[in-house]
Amino acid sequence: MHLAPRVLRRAVAGATVALLATAVGCAPQPEEKAASTPSGSSANTCAKGELATETSGKLTIATDQPAYEPWFKDDKPANGEGFESAVAYAVAEQLGYDKSAVVWQSVPFNKAFAPGVKTFDFDINQVSISDERRKAVDFSSGYYDVRQAVIALKGTKAAEATDIADLKGLKLGAQVGTTSLDYIDDVVKPTRDAAVYAKNDQAKSALKNGQVDAIVTDLPTAFYITSAEVTDAEIVGQFENQGGTPEQFGLVLDKGSALTSCVTGAVDALREDGTLAKIEQQWLSDAVDAPVLK
C-alpha cells in the first residue's frame, strides 16, 4: 500500500532529525537561513541519485495532460523540449538522475496541490507559489517569475481596454484553480461573474466562440495562444505584480517531503549558474513584453 513506505520514510526522517539534534546540541541557526529553509527534512543529505524517491533509483515527475506549449512541446513532457520539460530534466540532473531515470506521470492541475499524499516526487505545471497552497503541499524555490495577461479577439471592445477599469464590465474567463482566475476576482473585480473552465483549451474555445469577452492566462501562454492557436486574438495587456513581490512558479512536493530541501537546492543552483536563464531564453524569449494594465 502506498501510504506505508511514505509513513515509514517520514518516521525514519523524524528519528534522524532527533538524533542530529542531540549530537549538535542547541547551536543557533542564522536567522535568515532558518527563515528560508523549506518544510521537509533538512537532515536529508541529498546524495546524488540516492534520494528517498517514490521508486528507488527513479525520479517521478508529474504534470497535467495535455501539456501546453511553450512549457512543453508536442504534448510530450518526456522529450526534453519546452521550458518546463527542460527545467525538469535540469533539476533531475542536478539531483543525480539522468534522463533514463526520469518517469513522467499525468496529474490534473488542481490535484497537484490539493491535500493528500502524492504519487510523484515533484510536479511541474505552472503552479504559482502561494501561502494558501503551502498549507497542503511543499514548494521548491521559484524557477520562473511570471505575470498574468488578458487576451481578447482583435477589433472587439475588450481588445481596446487600456486599464483595469475597462475590464470591469466584461465577461472574463480563466482556468479553475489558477492565479489567472484570482486576478479576475481579486484585481479586476468584474461586475459579472467570471467563467471558469477545467482546462485552458475550454477557455480558448469560449473566447473563439464569443462566449466570453476575454480570458486571462500567464504571459508566455498568452503569447503562444495569440501567435499559434487563436491568431485572430491579441494580448490586451499584463497585470502588475501584487504585493510588491513577483509571482513565481515552483515545483510542487508532498507536504513535509524529505526531498523539498534537495529540490530547492537544485533549483537555486540552476538559477545561480545561469542554467534557468539559458532555458528561459531558449523557450520563452518571445514572451517578453506587453502593455501594463493599471
At 17, is the pLDDT very low, low, confident or very high (cuts 50, 70, 90)?
very low
Q: What pTM did the predictor assign?
A: 0.81
How confident is the model over 228-252, as a mean pLDDT? 92
- Rounded to the nearest 5 degrees, what angle is found at the Cα of 109, between the Cα atoms of 154 and 113? 135
What pLDDT, on a 0 to 100 scale, did the predictor assign at position 40? 44
What pLDDT, on a 0 to 100 scale, did the predictor assign at position 21? 37
What average pLDDT does the chain have?
Answer: 87
Answer whether 293's CB lies under 8 Å from 214's CB. Answer: no
pLDDT tens per residue, range 142-151 = 999 999 999 9
Per-residue pLDDT for 41 more than 60?
A: no
Per-residue pLDDT for 44 more than 80?
A: no
How confident is the model over 154-169, as a mean pLDDT? 97
Q: Residue 151 corresponds to which cell in the numbers above?
A: 487576451
What pLDDT, on a 0 to 100 scale, did the predictor assign at position 6? 41
CA distances from 140 to 82, 127, 136, 137, 250 (A): 20, 11, 14, 10, 5
What pLDDT, on a 0 to 100 scale, did the predictor assign at position 243? 76
Q: For residue 140, with 0-12 CB atoms within 10 Å meaning exposed, 13-18 middle and 19 or more buried, which class applies?
A: buried
Per-residue pLDDT for 1 more than 70?
A: no
At 14, is the pLDDT very low, low, confident or very high (cuts 50, 70, 90)?
very low
What pLDDT, on a 0 to 100 scale, did the predictor assign at position 75? 96
Q: How does strand 292-293 pair with strand 195-197?
A: unpaired
At 66, is the pLDDT very low, low, confident or very high (cuts 50, 70, 90)?
very high
Per-residue pLDDT for 171 more than 70?
A: yes
What pLDDT, on a 0 to 100 scale, did the predictor assign at position 245? 82
What pLDDT, on a 0 to 100 scale, did the predictor assign at position 287? 66
HSE-up (13 A, CA, CB side) for residue 1: 5
